[in-house]
Chains A and B, each alone.
Chain A
Amino acid sequence: MIGEPGRPPPARRPVPAARRLPRAVAGVVGILLSTSALSSPAEVSLKATVDRTEVAQGEVVTLEVRLESPEPPTRLDLPATSDFQVEAQEQSQEHAFTLGGGGGVLFREAYVVTARLRPLRAGALAIPSVRAVVRGREYITQPIVVKVGAAGTGPRAAPPPGAGGPAPGPQAGSRAYRGWEKDLVLEVELDRKEAYLGEQVTASFWLLSPLELLQCEGVTTPRYDGFWQEELETPRTRFPLEIRNVNGIPTRTYLVQRVALFPTRAGELTVDSMELSRITLRVGRPSPLGAFDDAVTLSRKSAPVLVKVRPLPPDAPPGYEPGNVGTLKLDVSIAPSQVQVGEPFTVRVQVSGNGNVRTLSPPRVSPLPGTRTFPPVTRDATERRNNRLFGTRIIETVVVPEQPGELVLPRSGWPYFDPQVGRYQLAPTPELRVNVIPAGAATGPGTAPGTNVLTAGLRPIRSGAILSRRGPPAWQEPWFLALLVLPPLAFFSAAAADRLRQKAQGARALRGGARTARRRLRLARRRFSHGDATAAVAEVEQALSAYASDRLGHVAAGLTRDSLAEELLRAGAHPPAVRALFGALDLIDAARYGAGDLHGEEVLTAAERALDALEEADWQAVEGGK
Chain B
Amino acid sequence: MSAAASGRRRPFGGALVLFPVLAALSLALFGAARAAPEPPAARFEAANRAYLSGDFEGAARGYAELLGEGWESAPLHVNLGNALFRMGKRGLATASYSRALRIDPGDADARANLELARAQNVDQVVGVEARPFFLRAVERVPNRAATAAFALAWLCLWGTLAFRRYAPSAAHGPLGAVAFAAALSVVASGALLAGKAAARGATTAVVVAVAAPVREGPESALRPAFELHEGTEVLVLEIRGGAVHVRLGNGLEGWLSAGDLEPV
Evaluate contact between A398 and B72: CB separation under 8 angstroms. no
Stretch of A157-165, A184-192, A197-205, A467-475 at the chain-chain interface? A467-475
Chain A minimum-CB-distance residue to B57: A440
Evaluate contact between A467 and B197: CB separation under 8 angstroms. no
Instruction: Enumerate chain A residues within 8 angstroms of B109, measured Cβ to Cβ.
Output: 459-460, 462
A484 to B193, CA, bound (A): 13
Stretch of A231-239, A488-496, A509-517 at the chain-chain interface? A488-496
Interface string of A453-481 (1 = CB under 8 A from B): 01101111111111111100111000010
A458 to B162, CA, bound (A): 53
Interface string of B150-193 (1 = CB under 8 A from A): 11001101110110010000000000000000000000000001
A53 to B139, CA, bound (A): 86
| Cross-interface CB contact of A468 among B44, B73, B146, cutoff 8 Å | B73
Evaluate contact between A483 and B154: CB separation under 8 angstroms. yes
A372 to B76, CA, bound (A): 35
A462 to B158, CA, bound (A): 42
Question: Closest CB of chain B to A381's CB: distance in Å?
Answer: 18
| Cross-interface CB contact of B154 among A466, A473, A484, cutoff 8 Å | A484
A494 to B54, CA, bound (A): 65
Q: Residue A4 at the B interface, CB < 8 A?
A: no
A398 to B123, CA, bound (A): 13
Evaluate contact between A473 and B210: CB separation under 8 angstroms. no
Q: Residue B219 at the A interface, CB < 8 A?
A: no
Q: Residue B48 at the A interface, CB < 8 A?
A: yes
**Given A343-B88, A374-B122, A491-B162, A466-B82 contact (CB < 8 Å):** no
Instruction: Enumerate chain B residues within 8 angstroms of A398, measured Cβ to Cβ.
Output: 122
Interface positions, chain B 17-54, Cβ under 8 Å from A, are 40-41, 44-45, 48, 51-54
Q: Residue A215 at the B interface, CB < 8 A?
A: no
Instruction: Enumerate chain A residues within 8 angstroms of B56, measured Cβ to Cβ.
Output: 449
Evaluate contact between A458 and B113: CB separation under 8 angstroms. yes
Question: Closest CB of chain A to B160's CB: distance in Å?
Answer: 10
Evaluate contact between B51 and A469: CB separation under 8 angstroms. no
Q: Residue A487 at the B interface, CB < 8 A?
A: yes
Evaluate contact between B147 and A487: CB separation under 8 angstroms. no
Instruction: Enumerate chain A residues within 8 angstroms of B157, measured Cβ to Cβ.
Output: 487
A344 to B52, CA, bound (A): 25
Evaluate contact between B75 and A462: CB separation under 8 angstroms. yes
Q: Residue A46 at the B interface, CB < 8 A?
A: no
Evaluate contact between B196 and A473: CB separation under 8 angstroms. yes
Most chain B Cβ neighbours within 10 Å, of A473, A494, A498: A473
Q: Residue B226 at the A interface, CB < 8 A?
A: no
Count contacts on A: residues with CB < 8 A to the other chain. Answer: 41
Interface positions, chain B 68-99, Cβ under 8 Å from A, are 70-76, 78-79, 82-83, 85-86, 88, 90
Q: Residue A452 at the B interface, CB < 8 A?
A: yes
Instruction: Enumerate chain B residues within 8 angstroms of A498, measured Cβ to Cβ.
Output: 165
Question: Closest CB of chain A to B158's CB: distance in Å?
Answer: 4
Chain A minimum-CB-distance residue to B157: A487
Evaluate contact between B158 and A490: CB separation under 8 angstroms. yes
Question: Closest CB of chain A to B70's CB: distance in Å?
Answer: 5
Evaluate contact between A487 and B211: CB separation under 8 angstroms. no
Evaluate contact between A458 and B85: CB separation under 8 angstroms. yes
Most chain B Cβ neighbours within 10 Å, of A372, A474, A495: A474
Evaluate contact between B86 and A452: CB separation under 8 angstroms. yes
Q: What is the predominant secondary structure among interface residues of chain B facing chain A?
A: helix
Evaluate contact between A458 and B116: CB separation under 8 angstroms. yes
Q: Residue A367 at the B interface, CB < 8 A?
A: no
Chain A minimum-CB-distance residue to B53: A449
Instruction: Enumerate chain B residues within 8 angstroms of A474, measured Cβ to Cβ.
Output: 143-144, 147-148
Instruction: Enumerate chain B residues within 8 angstroms of A457, measured Cβ to Cβ.
Output: 112, 116
Q: Residue B120 at the A interface, CB < 8 A?
A: yes
Q: Residue B248 at the A interface, CB < 8 A?
A: no
A400 to B88, CA, bound (A): 13
Q: Residue B258 at the A interface, CB < 8 A?
A: no
Most chain A Cβ neighbours within 10 Å, of B44, B54, B74, B144: B44
Instruction: Enumerate chain B residues within 8 angstroms of A467, measured Cβ to Cβ.
Output: 40-41, 44, 66, 71-73, 76
Evaluate contact between A468 and B147: CB separation under 8 angstroms. no
Instruction: Enumerate chain B residues within 8 angstroms of A452, measured Cβ to Cβ.
Output: 86, 88
Question: Closest CB of chain A to B199's CB: distance in Å?
Answer: 11
Evaluate contact between A461 and B79: CB separation under 8 angstroms. yes
Instruction: Enumerate chain A residues within 8 angstroms of B144, measured Cβ to Cβ.
Output: 474
Question: Closest CB of chain A to B51's CB: distance in Å?
Answer: 6
A447 to B85, CA, bound (A): 12
**Given A398-B122, A455-B86, A462-B78 contact (CB < 8 Å):** yes
A452 to B85, CA, bound (A): 10
Question: Closest CB of chain B to A190's CB: distance in Å?
Answer: 41
Evaluate contact between A465 and B76: CB separation under 8 angstroms. yes
Chain B minimum-CB-distance residue to A340: B88
Evaluate contact between A460 and B82: CB separation under 8 angstroms. yes
**Given A459-B113, A461-B79, A461-B82, A473-B200 contact (CB < 8 Å):** yes
Interface string of A301-316 (1 = CB under 8 A from B): 0000000000000000
A490 to B41, CA, bound (A): 42
Question: Closest CB of chain A to B37's CB: distance in Å?
Answer: 13
Q: Residue A450 at the B interface, CB < 8 A?
A: yes
**Given A458-B85, A473-B196, A480-B151, A465-B73 contact (CB < 8 Å):** yes
A558 to B40, CA, bound (A): 88
Evaluate contact between A494 and B76: CB separation under 8 angstroms. no
Question: Closest CB of chain B to A266's CB: distance in Å?
Answer: 39
Instruction: Enumerate chain B residues within 8 angstroms of A490, measured Cβ to Cβ.
Output: 158, 162
A490 to B125, CA, bound (A): 53
A448 to B55, CA, bound (A): 10
A343 to B83, CA, bound (A): 16
Evaluate contact between A454 and B71: CB separation under 8 angstroms. no
Instruction: Enumerate chain B residues within 8 angstroms of A448, measured Cβ to Cβ.
Output: 54
Question: Closest CB of chain A to B117's CB: distance in Å?
Answer: 9
Q: Residue A342 at the B interface, CB < 8 A?
A: yes
A491 to B76, CA, bound (A): 43
Evaluate contact between B193 and A494: CB separation under 8 angstroms. no
Question: Closest CB of chain B to A99's CB: distance in Å?
Answer: 52
Evaluate contact between B197 and A475: CB separation under 8 angstroms. yes
A461 to B158, CA, bound (A): 44
Instruction: Enumerate chain A residues within 8 angstroms of B73, measured Cβ to Cβ.
Output: 465-468
Instruction: Enumerate chain B residues within 8 angstroms of A450, measured Cβ to Cβ.
Output: 54
A495 to B166, CA, bound (A): 10
Instruction: Enumerate chain B residues within 8 angstroms of A462, measured Cβ to Cβ.
Output: 75, 78-79, 109
Interface positions, chain A 432-459, Cβ under 8 Å from B, are 447-450, 452, 454-455, 457-459
Instruction: Enumerate chain B residues within 8 angstroms of A465, measured Cβ to Cβ.
Output: 41, 44, 73-76, 79
Evaluate contact between A461 and B48: CB separation under 8 angstroms. yes
Question: Closest CB of chain A to B163's CB: distance in Å?
Answer: 10
A471 to B162, CA, bound (A): 34
Question: Closest CB of chain B to A342's CB: distance in Å?
Answer: 6
Known: A470-B72, A474-B144. 4 other contacts (CB 8 A): A447-B88, A448-B54, A464-B45, A467-B44
27 A–B pairs (Cβ distance < 8 Å), ordered by A: A374-B229, A398-B122, A449-B56, A449-B86, A450-B54, A452-B86, A454-B120, A458-B82, A458-B85, A459-B113, A462-B75, A462-B78, A462-B109, A463-B45, A465-B79, A467-B41, A467-B73, A467-B76, A469-B72, A473-B147, A473-B196, A474-B147, A474-B148, A475-B150, A483-B151, A487-B158, A491-B158
A contact set with B: CB distance below 8 Å: 342-344, 372, 374, 398, 400, 447-450, 452, 454-455, 457-470, 473-475, 480, 483-484, 487-488, 490-491, 494-495, 498
Top 6 A-B pairs ranked by shortest CB distance? A449-B54, A487-B158, A465-B75, A474-B147, A462-B75, A470-B72
